[in-house]
């Protein structure tokens, strides 16, 4: 076989050997590179309402209703609603740190809960409705504690702040019919939210 015919074959063999290594190298994150997205988890009573709030924040990619902080694996809504599993209704937020900061998400959180209600939020009572911040790393913990301390000094309302700050644990997404409830069932959602007195109490707390 002539050399001219061997060259394309040799070149193909070299490329075949090089491609896997190149692809693997390209897939590795660069040292010191920040993640494209991050997670934050908040408990603010009814997860339908908190999901609506966070999905309207610029920089938030998704907000998923679910359960966190309990001792039962794969809990159902029926189980959590009895307050027997230890879980809180939460919303887990996926966001772009280059567009919205965790500090900003904390501001949104505080302005949409009643920090003075223990094991309850608005018209909903039980430990599953407790307010809380579930931090995912030490920086989130530091920022959460700092924001709570700052609020304690400047709060425009009376009453002790009882909102918990807890390390995140296993997150269980809620059943499909709970996701985007405010969009799927707008009339029922507005009736619930108004009847629960959420907006009225928030206005009373924050002005």
Q: Is 123 among the residues known to form the active site?
A: no
Task: pLDDT band for 193, please (50, 70, 90 cuts).
Answer: very high
Query: Hunting for tokens 């408990």 — which residue is that?
Result: 43
Helix, strand, coil: what percent of the chain each, to 5? 45, 20, 35
The per-residue pLDDT for 5 is 52
> Exactly one of 46, 49, 123, 196 is catalytic; which is it?
46
Percent of the residues in the chain that have a pLDDT greater than 70, as a whole number: 83
Q: What is the pLDDT of residues 8-32, one digit of tens each?
A: 444 444 444 444 433 333 444 455 5
Under 8 Å between Cβ of 43 and 89: yes
DSSP letter for each residue of 142-203: HHHHHHHHHHHHH-SS-S----EEEE----EEPPGGGTTHHHHSHHHHHHHHHHTTHHHHHH
Q: What is the sign, positive or negative, of the torsion defined by CA atoms of 36, 111, 132, 160?
A: positive
Question: Residues of the chain with pLDDT > 90: what percent?
Answer: 83
Of residues 128 and 9, which shows the higher confidence score?
128
In a domain, 15, yes or no: no
* Inside any domain, residue 32: no
Q: What is the tally of structural domains in the chain?
A: 1
pLDDT of residue 31: 54
- Domain presence at residue 31: no
Predicted model pTM: 0.83
143-154 pLDDT tens trace:
999 999 999 999
Predicted pLDDT at 35: 65
Quote the pLDDT of residue 75: 98
- Domain with 125 in it: 38-206
User: Is residue 165 in some structural domain?
Assistant: yes
Please report the pLDDT score of residue 201 as a whole number.
Answer: 97
CATH of the domain at 106: 3.30.1060.10
Closest C-alpha to 64, from 206, 190, 180: 180
Instruction: With respect to residue 82, please indicate whether it lies within any of the assigned structural domains.
Output: yes
Q: Please report whether residue 9 resides in a domain.
A: no
Mean per-residue pLDDT of the chain? 89
DSSP conformational letter for 130: -
Residue 148 lies in a domain: yes
In a domain, residue 97? The reply is yes
């Amino acid at each position: 076989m002539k050399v001219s015919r061997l060259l394309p074959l040799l070149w193909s063999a070299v490329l075949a050997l090089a491609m896997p290594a190149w692809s693997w190298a390209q897939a590795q994150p660069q040292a010191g590179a920040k993640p494209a997205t991050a997670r934050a988890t908040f408990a603010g009573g009814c997860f339908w309402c908190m999901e609506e709030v966070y999905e309207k924040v610029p920089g938030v990619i998704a907000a998923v209703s679910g359960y966190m902080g309990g001792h039962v694996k794969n809990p159902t809504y029926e189980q959590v609603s009895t307050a027997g599993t230890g879980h809180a209704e939460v919303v887990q937020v996926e966001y772009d740190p280059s567009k919205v900061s965790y500090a900003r998400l904390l501001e949104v959180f505080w302005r949409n809960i009643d920090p003075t209600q223990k094991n309850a939020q608005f018209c909903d009572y039980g430990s599953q409705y407790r307010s809380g911040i579930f931090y995912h790393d030490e920086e989130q913990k530091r920022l959460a504690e700092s924001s709570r301390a700052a609020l304690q000094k400047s709060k425009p309302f009376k009453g002790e702040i009882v909102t918990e700050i807890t390390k995140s644990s296993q997150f269980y997404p809620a059943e499909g019919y709970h996701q985007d409830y405010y969009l799927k069932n707008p009339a029922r959602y507005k009736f619930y939210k108004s009847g629960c007195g959420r907006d009225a109490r928030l206005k009373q707390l924050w002005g």
